[in-house]
Amino acid sequence: MDQRAKTDTDSGGATEPLIDAGTELDPVHPASLPPSAHHRPPPPAAPGGLTSAEVAERIARGEVNDVPVRSSRSITEIVRANVFTRFNAIIGVLWVIMLFVAPIQDSLFGFVIVANTGIGIVQELRAKKTLDGLAVMGEAKPTVRRDGVAARISTSEIVLGDLIELGPGDKVVVDGEVIEVDGLEVDESLLTGEADPVLKQPGDQMMSGSFIVAGGGAFTATRVGREAYATQLAEEASRFTLVHSELRSGINTILKYVMWLMIPTSIGLIISQLVVKDNDFKNSIARTVGGIVPMIPEGLVLLTSVAFAVGVIRLGRKQCLVQELPAIEGLARVDVVCLDKTGTLTEGGMDVTEVRMLEGSGVREGYVHTVLGALGTSDTRPNASLRAIKDAYPDDAEWRCTDSLPFSSARKYSGASFEEPEGGASTWLLGAPDVLLPEGDPVLDQIEQLNRQGLRVLLLTRATKALDDPDMTDGTRATALVVLEQRLRPDAADTLRYFADQNVITKVISGDNAVSVGAVAAKLDLPGAENTVDARTLPTDRAEMAEALEGSSVFGRVTPQQKRDMVAALQSKGHTVAMTGDGVNDVLALKDADIGVAMGAGSEATRAVAQIVLLNNSFATLPSVVAEGRRVIGNITRVATLFLTKTVYSVLLAILVVCSQVEYPFLPRHLTLLSTLTIGVPAFFLALAPNTERAQPHFVRRVMRYAIPSGIIAATATFCTYLLARSHYSGPDALAAETSAATLALFLVSIWVLSIIARPYTWWRVGLVAAMSLGFLIVLVVPWLQDFFALKLVGTTMPWAAVGIAAVAAAGLELVWRWVGRRFPA
């Protein structure tokens, strides 16, 4: 392999492709594209690109890259997802029936569902507006040459035949053919799984979804819009999605079992109330519906969507783009954060503090300054180090660059060959001293002293071989050290301290010198910074690497492939891993991590594969994302317990009624009142409240171990009260009195469940429980509300008996919840 394409990674051959949009992609080659993708090739591009007239002509013909890369669902999809649900269909049918056979009071549950659906739609639309606005800010804007002038344009404005310029970190957004190259190296691993970069030559194919790791060039767009098959895959891979979330998967699992419980229970209840009991038909219908409706946890999905949507809006205000919604949840579950030093702990810019001449170099310092200036000019897309050198030593000599080798994260150095004004020729390399110098070289000792101060050191060395020679680093003559100072992010130390307080392990993995990385980490008081590891000494076996990673926190000289391997090794130990980065060397690790976080000022490639993009480039935003995720997970766990407690007691009550062959104790209006006061309104506030609890796994298990015993206790207390009332009351109004007593018991037990879930108490949570209790009390004492809800306590014996039974049930709830908490600690 040509030296420019050679890497220091040990890829082990082909690896699994990273893009998986549900469509198989044969080896990425034009022949693998469907027939519709073989578009008439455009004529060869002129060096100046298309003219304005040619662009207008192609737009008129529809040859535009019009595939929208959406960050959120469309308005139609949002409305459809909120309106056309299985439970809405069931409740809608029951609502229509109730409108014909019962007073409007018994149809209130339908209006609640309409209101809930409207709230869900409005919140998702607000989230969509936020996301779409942020997506435009974070959108890749390729550089296109038209009329001889290069300008950045939107991806959707590219037309067939456009000449698109490329540089390190750029993402290839359409398919095309290479026209110009300058050491152009392309990483196609997201498409093919091959980790080694590919050196491109004029005439080679460029595929959308790949990205530039080194060098530069230009290519002509040969397939745009929906005809660029790989573009569609890349779009699918990074579009906003509501899937692959433990929270949502858990809720779907719960709903599936609820449906299976509902079907036989509802059939039995219908038969019991309509056939076995010889009651008034309309009253039987009303009580049957009253038994079925509360089995449905209709608000649970709504509040989950609202909680996520509000999270997106809150983070959007902090300039945080959530490209995949579950990333909010995922980062809250993370227990290891891998940080790239440059651009994350340090700011992107650097300053040259010193050029230190080496003994025996045989050149003047002024000559070295000229060389550095020429090297800065030789790279059209310099990295941060070369930009600092270019700023410090502008090129004022007439040196002509005859060949160049762009910087690569795998190589750790760059180079260029020059024709000097005096007629001589020279080739220079600039890069990592410990890569360019042989082991044990005395110069490395003084470099280590500088690294211990947190300074970045590059070695300027004169090569004796051509840039395309595989052994070009052999026999070089070390000339000077270029010392650069990195700027620490002012908020980095506080952010690292936050993660430490939250028991989240922080690991710094950087391509820079290990000693230098350790010094930077030490300045930020990162635990373990004194034991920095040179990644070149790490074992290649995943299990052995995982053990090595467990014992250290700071790693230097990490290659891009090693970053990926380190993420996999940590995951193999059961860790949930987040990776942050901003450069092309971070792309593979970002894509493989459980959560990828990219800086807004980072490369287009990193932004494309990350789930979260910090558009304000502030590492300090991450605690907000973690806090938002914890709020969502913790609060949804709380409200899910509320909803499923209702489902459990509703199903059990229906079974008890069927087995006992008695009238169902409640009308729909009673359960609408109870659901609103003990679940609906409180759940809305609890779902959106602050919550700093650390996210725990096994959502379904954690919810059901509380909801099932709570529902059983509530159903038992309610049915006992109902049977006791049936033996106590007699006469034509007995059923209403029995229902009122049962309703009182069920409310008291349910409000106690709410009071447990609301813990730990704050002033507003105490106020919430008190307000709901007051609301029920008002219904019991205001005459017209008594009539509206058909609730009137008769006598004192049964009401006090209901209170006594509820008190026993509340004591049982306390014992069960405490036992569960001890038996199954979080």
Structure-block tokens of residue 356: 């230190």
Task: Find all residues with CB under 8 Å of 352, minimum gap 6, and list them.
Answer: 388, 389, 391, 392, 393, 482, 483, 484
E strand or H helix at 144: strand 143-146
For residue 479, give both structure tokens: 């000339």
**Amino acid identity for residue 390 in this structure:** K
Which H helix or E strand runs over 605? helix 604-609
Residue for token digits 């395309």? Answer: 468
C-alpha to C-alpha distances, 577 to 165, 563, 571, 693, nearest whole angstrom? 35, 12, 7, 19
Measure the CA–CA gap between 495 and 501, rounded to whole angstroms: 10
Structure tokens of 688? 């959106």
**Tokens found for residue 510:** 């950087």
Per-residue buried b or exposed e for 144-169, using 16+ beta carbons within 10 Å of the residue's own CB: bbbeeeeeeeebeebbbbbbbbbbbb
My answer on whether omega of the bond before 297 falls inside 30° of 0, hence cis, is: no
CA 17, 21, 27, 29 dihedral sign is negative
Cα dihedral 668→674→679→680 (10° resolution): 60
Contacts of 115 (CB under 8 A, 6+ apart): none
DSSP string over 93-124? HHHHHHHHHS-GGGGHHHHHHHHHHHHHHHHH
CB 266 within 8 A of CB 619: no
Picking from 564, 105, 480, 17, the residue whose alpha carbon sits closest to that of residue 289 is 105
Instruction: Give yes or no for a contact between 202 and 180, defined as CB atoms under 8 angstroms apart.
Output: yes
Q: Which residues contact 709 (CB under 8 A, 6 or more apart)?
A: 813, 816, 820
Count the helices and strands in the chain (H runs, E runs).
Answer: 28, 21
Determine the 3-state secondary structure of 234 from DSSP. helix
Give every CB contact of residue 459 below 8 A, 6+ residues apart in sequence: 429, 430, 431, 432, 433, 436, 437, 443, 447, 478, 480, 481, 482
Q: Are strands 554-556 and 505-509 parallel, antiparallel or unpaired?
A: parallel
Supply φ then ψ for residue 269, to 5 degrees: -65, -40
Q: Which residues are catalytic?
A: 340
Tokens of 532: 């920095």
| Gyration radius (Cα) of the chain, Å | 33
How far apart (Å, rounded) are the C-alpha atoms in residues 88 and 331? 32
Burial letters 586-598, b for 16+ CB under 10 A, else e: bbbbbbbbbbbbb
Residue pair 214/183 in contact (Cβ under 8 Å)? The answer is yes
Cα 453 to the center of its chain, rounded Å = 36
E strand residue ranges, 424-510:
425-431, 456-463, 477-488, 505-509
Instruction: Give dist(CA 51, CA 162) in Å, integer.
Output: 9
CB 513 within 8 A of CB 538: no
